[in-house]
Amino acid sequence: MSGLRFRQSPRQLARADFVAGFGRVYEHSPWIAERAFASKPVAGFASRAAVHAALVATVQSASAAEKLALLNAHPELAGKEAAAGTLTSESTREQAAAGLSAMTAEDVTQLRELNARYREKFGFPFIIAARNNTQGAIFGAIKSRLLNTRDMEFNNNLMQVGEIARLRLLDIITE
Ligand code: GUN
């Protein structure tokens, strides 16, 4: 599914196609595509940007508990799932793009410690759109974001999740 590209315009997508196509745009959270489809305009989604806007709006109008579950559906960067090979294909690609699958053992240990401190302080994992960042930028971001409040990080994480979704949509809708 990760390699799927729509030849059809998003305008013509039926519900099942929409959910099959975009259900993986949010990590382990197909409910977002399911719910977003209900907001489809009568004339259909006109563009990739319109699909993304509908998905982001669905997340924004979700409950705080649902947003927290969405954040918690994300794996840690260079975490246990990465080591065990149990990441989604999308996530594997994102972590590799940032060079995280080729780190030294010391860097892995340091990133895991930072991830653990972050999760302990805020109660959810550190999320950054890995594909937009180098390894150095990710280390810098987690260190500075550890100084923020929980509210700031809840919002920062949701913004990053929206960016991850935008990048995944670029892979699956050609315009
Ligand atoms: N956790 C932190 N960053 C990312 C990311 O870019 N992708 C995924 N799937 N999980 C993450």
Q: What is the pLDDT of residues 62-105, one digit of tens each?
A: 999 999 999 999 999 999 999 999 999 999 999 999 999 999 99
Helices (H) and strands (E) in the chain, counts: 9, 0
Token digits for 14?
């039926």
Judge contact between 33 and 22, C-beta under 8 A: yes
Give the Å distance between the CA of 115 and the centre of ligand 1: 12
Q: How many Å apart are CA 46 and CA 124, to the nearest integer? A: 35
pLDDT at 24: 97
Protein residues with CB under 6 Å of any ligand 1 atom: 27, 74-75, 77, 91, 94, 127-130, 164
* 74 part of the active site: yes
- Residue 131 makes CB contacts below 8 A (sequence gap 6+) with 93, 94, 97, 98, 164, 167
For residue 5, report the phi and psi dihedrals to the nearest 5 degrees: -125, 135
3-state SS assignment for residue 173: strand
* 48 burial via Cβ count (<10 Å: 0-12, 13-18, 19+): middle
pLDDT at residue 13, as a whole number: 79
Low-confidence ranges of the chain (pLDDT < 50): 1-4
Q: Active-site residue among 24, 35, 67, 74?
A: 74
Of 48, 44, 103, the C-alpha closest to 79 is 103
pLDDT of the residue at 51: 95
